[in-house]
Structure 1
Amino acid sequence: IDDEDEQEKNKAETDDYRLLSTITGQPVTDDPLIYVIPVCAPWSTLQSYKYKIKLSPGTGKKGKSVQTVLKYFMYDKTATNLEKDLIKSIKDQDISRNLPGKVKLSLPASLK
């Protein structure tokens, strides 16, 4: 019985690892995209992500900042239609939940 339990545990861990290894910050054309996960992390961690905006402490309200970020991502010329649809499907409160209180967004100069 212990051997069977150990095998089931190993299989579950392997399945979990496979699932986690499918999460990417740099989707490519062949990736089967099914969901978007909003992430708030140190800037150095997000350097390889396709969609990112630098946040700094500031006076901007969460709701307005979230709307600005989503609009910025929607106008990304490299975004596929599927990526845009997935970005549209994110609820503002799902993103706001991950942001600190007051923020300043650092957008490219051409979009300010």
Structure 2
Amino acid sequence: RKEKYAEQDDEDRDLRMTLLGAAGKKDPAAASPKTEEAPKTLPPKKADVADSEEPAQQCQPPSIVDQLADMAVEGPEGTSGAEEDLDDAGVEPSAKAADVEHGGAEADDDDDDDEERAAELLTEQLDVLDTLTAAPMAGDNLAFAIPVCAPYPALAAYKYRVKLVPGVMKKGKACKMAQTVMLAAADSNRPRSTSSSDPTEAERLELEDILAQREKSLIKGIPEMEMIAQMLGKVKVTAPNIESIKQKTKAAAKSRAKAKSAQDDS
């Protein structure tokens, strides 16, 4: 063995050891310059000492085979293998940019579709509001009546309304009084007669009578809880001719009571 390495100098030996991957650790003192003040270090723990005593194979530099494999994966000039495959397949950078722009265009189209859908929904909601009316006309096809509570001047165009002022009425009693006033107003809107020598006038009177009956039916059919939900507490209901309406209501209630008692006696 001595004869085999007799002509080998130190430089040849270091080169061979590097190729074999068994080069020794460099002296840390020689690798880094000394500083004037060395930081204070704690004594190494047992685990650190054990780690420093591990075989030198864990700190060995990568072999030539591993370096060649890494170069094959990265490609020339740090280019990844996936990008090389795209270049070999004939995909130009401009085509890649076109794909990105196409994806952005699709996203813009989706945003435009969402905006159009939102505009359509808003239009539908506004169309529903257009179907509501505060003053029905003869010939209108009424579906239901909605109770609302708002400042009295804002309800100037409403056909059926009452005024609420501070008082002692509870919500339930105030709702019944308001409903009674509106039902009396619907009765007063009915024409006294639908007959006329003029066919056009007779048709108009008939339509007004139908409208008044329909309005009265819808006012009577409003659920009590819906009225209570809109009504204020501790109020007093006022309206034109409300005292006469109260008297008529009491008289009608008495007549119904008498008729019922007479029927029970018989």
**TM-score, L = length of structure 2:** 0.40
Q: Does structure 1 residue 84 correspond to structure 2 residue 216?
A: yes
Displacement of 1:30: 3.0
- Paired with 1:60 and 1:10, the residues of 2 have a C-alpha distance of 45
- Distance in 1, matches of 2:177 and 2:233, equals 16
Structure 1 residue 51, shift from structure 2 partner: 0.6
Higher helix share: 2
**Unpaired segments of 5 or more residues in structure 2?**
1-109, 191-211, 247-266
User: Secondary structure of the equivalent of 1:71?
Assistant: helix
Residue by residue, what CA displacement relative to the aligned partner does 1:58-91 show, whole Å, maximum 9, x if unpaired?
0112212211111121122226111111111111
Shift in Å, 1:31: 2.5
Does the 8 Å CA contact 2:184/2:245 hold for their aligned counterparts?
A: no
Query: Which has the higher relative contact order, 1 or 2, with Cα contacts under 8 A spaced 6 or more apart?
Result: 1
Whether 1:23 aligns to 2:132 is: yes
Q: Does 1:111 align with 2:220?
A: no
Which of these two proteins has the greater Rg computed from alpha carbons? 2
Displacement of 1:48: 0.8
Distance 1:27 1:81 in 2: 12
Structure 1 runs of 4+ off > 2 angstroms? Answer: 109-112
Q: Which runs of 5+ in 1 are unaligned?
A: none
C-alpha distance in structure 2 between counterparts of 1:12 and 1:45, whole Å? 28
**What number of residue pairs does the alignment pair up?**
112
Which structure has more strand as a fraction of its residues?
A: 1
Alignment correspondent of 1:32: 141
**In 2: Cα distance, 1:16 partner to 1:61 partner:** 35
Identity %: 38
What is the root-mean-square deviation of aligned Cα atoms in Å?
1.6
Q: TM-score, normalised by structure 1?
A: 0.89
